[in-house]
Structure 1
Amino acid sequence: MSLFDLLCVGVGGTIGTGVFVLSGLIAKEYSGPSAMFSFLIAGFACLISAASYGELSSRIPTAGSSYVYAYAALGEYPAVIAAWSLSLEYGLSGAAVSRSWGDKLATWVSSFGVSISTPLDAVGINLFAGFLMITCVLILLGGMNTGKITVNVFTVFKVLLVFFMMFGGFSQFQAQNLTPLVPLGYGGILRGATSCFFGYVGFDEV
């Protein structure tokens, strides 16, 4: 994998549901117009974490991520716990992202007047989310090259979409919407930052 491929893995894993969905939720429920500060605080926390990852990977230059780092510093059992924690992190975040995009797809299809409700909805099973997960597995089974190309294409598209949203937002800017800037106080900013941190999950893949 080239440097561009690795950047696409990290950026593609970071820009996604967290940015496209959580931004509105954080602004509405926690931070208000100060949501930008919540993202900055969460980004700074990720930067510190990434710096520690960089230091450890330069001192222990081998594959294995958190498992290897914990194994070298603390031993086998803490390393197993770290590895399971990381697996749980990506499992839960992957499920959350699939559910979010599954709901988006269901809403989009419903906008055409097509009813897509199933008996499984009553027990919280989202067929679209499952379909999305199966699609991702099939792409991975296609091999590293197929996965790399798919990630690169989607990452470039998502970055362009973010820039479109930024310029579109600036074109609709109204200064009165910034008042009050911190509606729920600094506690709201910090609470928003904790939610923002989920939006950055994926940066540590690199």
Structure 2
Amino acid sequence: MSDLFRRKPISELLEESQGKTGLKKSLGAFDLTMLGIGAIIGTGIFVLTGVAAADLSGPALILSFLLSGLACCFAALCYAEFASMIPVAGSAYTYGYAGLGEIWGWIIGWDLILEYAVGIATVAIGWSGYVVNLLGNIGIHLPKAITVSPFEGGVINIPAMVIIGLIAWLLISGVRNTSGVNGVIVIIKVSVVLLFIVLAVWHVKPANWTPFMPYGFQGVVSGAAVVFFSYIGFDAVSTAAEETRNPQKNMPKGIIYSLLICTALYIAVSAILTGIVKYTAYKTPAGHAAPVAYALDQIGIHWGAALVSVGAICGITSVCLVMMYGQSRIFFAMARDGLIPKVLGSVDPKHQTPALSTTIVATACALTAGFFPISIVSELVSIGTLFAFIIVCAGIIVLRQKRSDLKRSFKVPFYPVTPILGILSCAYLITGLKPVTWLRFIVWFALGLIVYFAYSRRHSLLRLENRQPKTARE
């Protein structure tokens, strides 16, 4: 059983990233920051703010975002140290494999497959809803049969499938094209968020912030667990490590800058949202689905609401793009290690991108988005991410003890307090999630263990190399 905890040598990981199976290096600190903002600002700020304010946090939504942001900050610092030390594809999966052992690496990888796949389908369905609504406002009404799933009275959600297909094509064509398009989208949606702040801040009524914590502190914690979905994405920056120029310096910058920028925007937007309209108003369907546009409508700025809708579409598009990017890179890393079929790790010779894994991810997500309704998904994605963050923070502690000799161009400050606080804060947020979310996660976890013992453990390249005679390996 000791082979379950065999760790992949970091020197071997670095050699792979520089070899023929490595990915093209074309990203800088600015690209990574844009990638992070592109993944973070989207469904959370444009949708979940209304749900959390109305049902869980009230005006204390600010505290919910602060709690989530703080937990993410601790985890982000740990990600930054790992990314500077092990600048290869795979994100938390690779870090877990190198720091804690193969079984933990597999658990994180399996966990991230669920997080990204469900997240991509969910975001695509949200994108479809915004597009259909915007087209309806200008007199173009798409039939219900092609815009919602069979479970909702339709036949197939074609817009959701189309956006997934377009994003897959963009990813396969090359990461430089991807980062360029993503950069434009990020600028648009950040501009829209700033426009909302400028337009709405003058309409804030402090009386709307009373009572500040209508559901108690437990409501704030539950709200933090829900809006945690809003921060999911900064970890996707670390999946691009192998495609980054000078990753030891640029990866920590991209991770930390994107998180700080988005946290500041979230706090400002949540304060204004609950200040211009009473939190109970967001219980309406419109307030739940599009709270930012709804708030502007309530104060008579209808043209601003329309612009926000366009920004929301851009925001959700970039989230879908970065999540699919991250998913395909995790597949790539796991396949290269032999834990899933090696063919999934093949790199397209023309574009130097993992075309096959991207195609498979896109197909699965498109079918899910086209034929199934995705509900209560934000909590399922949140629990998976929180669990991965806990393992990453633990991995920092283990490697500091066992591999103090490794070069670290960035070190987690206030060690070991920071990673310990990361573990405790993420675990605390998990307690705010519903029991049914725990059950779904446990089922997926059990399925992953079955796959590992039935296939992955026997096909692990690290295990096969260790079983060869020394002369054969040489």
TM-score, structure 1 length as denominator?
0.92
**Range 50-59 or range 37-46, more displaced:** 50-59
| Conservation of the 8 A alpha-carbon contact between 2:132 and 2:141 | no
Equivalent positions of 1:178-189 (< 5 A) are 178-189=209-220
| Partner residue in 1 for 2:170 | 139
| Conservation of the 8 A alpha-carbon contact between 2:58 and 2:213 | yes
Corresponding letter in the other structure for 2:145: T
Could you list the per-position Cα deviations for residues 78-103 of structure 1 after superposition, in whole angstroms to 9, with x for gaps in the alignment? Answer: 21221121122111111111111111
Across the two proteins, how many residue pairs are aligned to each other? 206
Paired residue for 1:123, among 138, 151, 158? 151
Q: Distance in 1 between matches of 2:71 and 2:228?
A: 8
Q: Distance in 2 between matches of 1:108 and 1:62?
A: 40
| Partner residue in 1 for 2:141 | 114
Q: Distance in 2 between matches of 1:157 and 1:130?
A: 23
| Conservation of the 8 A alpha-carbon contact between 1:27 and 1:33 | yes
Q: Distance in 2 between matches of 1:171 and 1:126?
A: 40
Residue aligned with 1:114, SS: coil
Q: Distance in 1 between matches of 2:121 and 2:194?
A: 27
| Partner residue in 1 for 2:71 | 45
| Partner residue in 1 for 2:226 | 195
Give the unaligned 5+ runs of structure 2. 1-26, 238-474
- The alignment status of 1:31 with 2:57, answered yes or no, reads yes
- The alignment status of 1:71 with 2:97, answered yes or no, reads yes
| Partner residue in 1 for 2:182 | 151
Give the unaligned 5+ runs of structure 1. none
CA 115–70 in structure 1, closer or farther in 2 if over 3 Å, else same? closer
Q: Distance in 2 between matches of 1:113 and 1:148?
A: 32
| Partner residue in 2 for 1:102 | 128
Q: Distance in 1 between matches of 2:86 and 2:149?
A: 47
Residue aligned with 1:196, SS: helix
Give me the CA root mean square deviation. 1.7
CA 69–196 in structure 1, closer or farther in 2 if over 3 Å, else same? same
CA 109–62 in structure 1, closer or farther in 2 if over 3 Å, else same? closer
Corresponding letter in the other structure for 2:151: V
Corresponding letter in the other structure for 1:44: L
Q: Distance in 2 between matches of 1:80 and 1:171?
A: 51
Could you list the per-position Cα deviations for residues 10-32 of structure 1 after superposition, in whole angstroms to 9, with x for gaps in the alignment? Answer: 11100111111111111111111
**Range 140-149 or range 152-161, more displaced:** 140-149
| Conservation of the 8 A alpha-carbon contact between 2:69 and 2:231 | yes
Corresponding letter in the other structure for 1:12: G
| Partner residue in 1 for 2:242 | none
Could you list the per-position Cα deviations for residues 18-67 of structure 1 after superposition, in whole angstroms to 9, with x for gaps in the alignment? Answer: 11111111111111111111111111111011111122233434433222
CA 121–71 in structure 1, closer or farther in 2 if over 3 Å, else same? closer
Report the alpha carbon displacement of residue 69 of structure 1 after superposing the two structures with TM. 1.5
**Range 148-157 or range 112-121, more displaced:** 112-121
Q: Distance in 2 between matches of 1:121 and 1:162?
A: 31
Residue aligned with 1:118, SS: helix
Corresponding letter in the other structure for 1:133: I
Residue aligned with 1:189, SS: helix
Residue aligned with 2:149, SS: helix
CA 113–70 in structure 1, closer or farther in 2 if over 3 Å, else same? closer
Report the alpha carbon displacement of residue 109 of structure 1 after superposing the two structures with TM. 2.1
Q: Distance in 1 between matches of 2:65 and 2:112?
A: 23
Q: Distance in 1 between matches of 2:86 and 2:119?
A: 27
**Range 6-15 or range 26-35, more displaced:** 26-35
Structure 1 residue ranges, 4+ long, deviating more than 4 angstroms after superposition: none
Identity of aligned residues (%): 35
| Conservation of the 8 A alpha-carbon contact between 1:106 and 1:116 | no
Corresponding letter in the other structure for 1:121: S
Q: Distance in 2 between matches of 1:155 and 1:149?
A: 10
Corresponding letter in the other structure for 1:101: W
CA 159–113 in structure 1, closer or farther in 2 if over 3 Å, else same? closer
Corresponding letter in the other structure for 2:150: A
| Partner residue in 2 for 1:176 | 207
